[in-house]
Amino acid sequence: MSRIGVVQFPGSNCDQDCIDALGRHFDIKVQAVWHTETTLPKLDGLIVPGGFSFGDYLRSGCLAAHSPIMQEIKAFAKNGGSVIGICNGFQILTESRLLPGTLLKNQSRQFICKPVYLKSVQGDSVYHKKLAGKVMQVPIAHGEGRYFAEPEDLKKLWDRGQVVLQYTTKTGELADTANPNGSFDAIAGIISENGKVFGLMPHPERATDKLLGGSDQGLAILHAFLAST
């Protein structure tokens, strides 16, 4: 069984959702790690959850990227540990340079909270292979989710197979109306060159149970994360 941790920052609000989802659906007892810790327990995978770390002061994820635990997370990732950053977690991963690019304010300049559709693109990582051909309905909840990278960096992402998820229509087609925040190339999730650090803006942990009135298709993304550990 995978040993999974979740980092908690002041303002994290999806850590418990992750703990609940992995506990109920995968029978995994997730270990919470407070941001001021300077060591990580022995883990196979680590979740950097959503929320509003440090109230999103300065920029979303900026202050959290300098928390003491981030040095350990960087070392964990460098040594091949699996990391998934969700929403604010994705922002923290880009701010700490564990992933390229940045997340800008939504094109509408408004906070957006609604279900969207995602589709995996072709690639060689575990995420690409586990999610291949799937169109998933997963919610978003963010004000700064517009993925941006310079043109040459975007080209590198595509050339290296680091783009994992794009916002699409229900039938898996790209369309401006299906891109909720104006992300460049409709990017919803990317991965590190070694295929171990994954960041995405949508919330798979909020799409694990149809009884909540939505989708359970986020389970596929969490399953891919566990398979990467």
pLDDT digits (tens, 9 = 90+) for 114-124: 999 999 999 99
pLDDT (tens digit, 9 = 90+) per residue, 195-204? 999 999 999 9
pLDDT (tens digit, 9 = 90+) per residue, 32-83? 999 999 999 999 999 999 999 999 988 899 999 999 999 999 999 999 999 9
Query: What pLDDT sits at residue 211?
Result: 82
> Rounded CA gap, 118 and 197, in Å?
19
Q: Vertex 186, ends 51 and 110: CA angle to 5°? A: 45
* Token pair belonging to 168: 């699409």
Q: Tell me the pLDDT band of 209, cut-offs 50, 70 and 90.
A: very high
What CATH code is carried by the domain that includes residue 96?
3.40.50.880
Helix (H), strand (E) at residue 32: strand 31-34
205 catalytic? Reply is yes
Catalytic residue among 72, 95, 144, 205: 205
Strand residues in 93-202 grouped as ranges (E): 102-104, 112-120, 135-142, 146-148, 163-168, 187-191, 197-200
113 catalytic? Reply is no
152 catalytic? Reply is no
Query: What pLDDT sits at residue 143?
Result: 97
| Domain count across the chain | 1
pLDDT (tens digit, 9 = 90+) per residue, 1-21? 789 999 999 999 999 999 999
Catalytic residue among 35, 72, 87, 128: 87
Q: Which domain holds residue 109?
A: 4-227
Query: What pLDDT sits at residue 167?
Result: 98
Residue 212 has pLDDT above 80, yes or no: no
